[in-house]
Amino acid sequence: MSSMRIPALCVATGLYLLTAPALAASSDPSNDDQKTLYALGLAISQSLGTFSLSETELDMVKHGITDGVLKRPQKVDLQTFGPKIQLLQQSRLAMVAEGEKKAGAAFLTKAAAEKGQPKRSQASSSPPSNQALVRRQRQRIRSRFIIMAH
């Protein structure tokens, strides 16, 4: 993730978080401004989706965004931990890819058994590699950032 994307993501998410108290009283957006801000939150959530954040982790992300948007003192050095964001994303994507790879292999084995077909060789039936899945996910993320920038 480039150094320009991180601040843009933080600002966009921060805007959403600043509107959260207003939406807390009524969970459904009632006017066009609230609906637009809610849509912004949905768009941001898609960008964060590749991290597979737990609720506790999402709370930490919210704290970082709030501190950044409100110009509070930073609790970590962004120069030190900023580069680690991409490493975190890659490790999370690799875990998801491994799970999908196992599920795909199990599905192919089950489908072949149900149809009475001989099991295909591992080389011809293996799902895409982790690297291929990570590349595809990065392309999706880039396209989302391009859409959000325009």
47-78: per-residue pLDDT in tens?
888 888 999 999 999 899 889 989 999 999 99
Domain range for 67 is: 5-149
Residue ranges of E strands in 84-139: none
Number of structural domains (the chain) is 1
The pTM score is 0.51
**Nearest C-alpha neighbor of 75 from the set 86, 83, 66, 87:** 66
Higher pLDDT, 55 or 149: 55
Residue 93 has pLDDT above 60, yes or no: yes
Residue ranges of E strands in 33-114: none
Residue 133 has pLDDT above 90, yes or no: no
What are the Cα distances from residue 18, in Å, to 10, 60, 74, 121, 144?
A: 12, 15, 18, 54, 22
CA atoms of 14 and 9, how far apart (whole Å): 8
Residue 23 binned pLDDT confidence (cut-offs 50, 70, 90): very low
Residue 27 has pLDDT above 50, yes or no: yes
